[in-house]
C-alpha cells in the first residue's frame, strides 16, 4: 500500500487517509500502453480509493498538470490514457458488490 501514498504525494502533494484497495488490474487488452517514442509497457495495477487529507495539494507539473474535482458524469474520457479510464467502472463495481475486482 505504500505505493498508493507515495504516488499521491509525488504527483499531487496529496496526503490520503482511509485508503481501501478495491482491485487488481492486469488485463493485457487494457493494461498496455505505447508511448509516443514507441516504448511499450504492460501494467499490473493496484486499484485503490482514498480520501484527501490535506488542502495544499498541487500538481507536480511533470506527470500531473492540473487537478480538479468533478462528478463521475463530468469525467472527460478522452483526457485519460486507455489504461486509466476503466478504473472508474471497477470502482463502481466494487461499490455495488463489495467484491475485490480482479480484471
Query: How would you label 82-101 residue by residue, b for 16+ Cβ within 10 Å and e otherwise?
Result: ebeebbeebbeebeeeeeeb
**pLDDT for position 99:** 97
In which domain, by residue range, is 19 found? Answer: 2-102
pLDDT digits (tens, 9 = 90+) for 1-59: 999 999 999 999 999 999 999 999 998 887 888 899 999 988 898 999 999 999 999 99
Q: What is the mean pLDDT of residues 59-86?
A: 87
Q: How far apart are the first and last CA of the chain?
A: 19
Q: What contacts 88, CB < 8 A, 6 or more positions away?
A: 72, 75
**Total number of domains constituting the chain:** 1
In angstroms, rounded to a whole number, what is the distance separating the alpha carbons of residues 34 and 16? 30
Q: Could you tell me which residues are beta bridge partners of residue 25? A: 45
Amino acid at each position: 500500500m505504500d505505493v498508493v501514498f507515495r504516488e499521491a504525494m509525488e504527483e499531487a502533494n496529496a496526503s490520503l487517509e482511509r485508503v481501501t484497495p478495491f482491485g487488481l488490474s492486469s488485463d493485457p487488452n487494457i493494461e498496455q500502453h505505447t508511448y509516443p517514442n514507441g516504448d511499450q509497457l504492460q501494467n499490473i495495477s493496484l486499484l485503490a480509493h482514498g480520501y484527501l487529507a490535506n488542502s495544499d495539494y498541487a500538481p507536480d507539473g511533470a506527470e500531473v498538470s492540473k487537478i480538479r474535482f468533478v462528478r463521475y458524469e463530468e469525467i472527460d474520457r478522452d483526457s485519460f490514457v486507455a489504461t486509466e479510464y476503466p478504473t472508474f467502472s471497477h470502482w463502481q463495481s466494487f461499490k455495488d458488490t463489495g467484491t475485490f475486482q480482479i480484471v
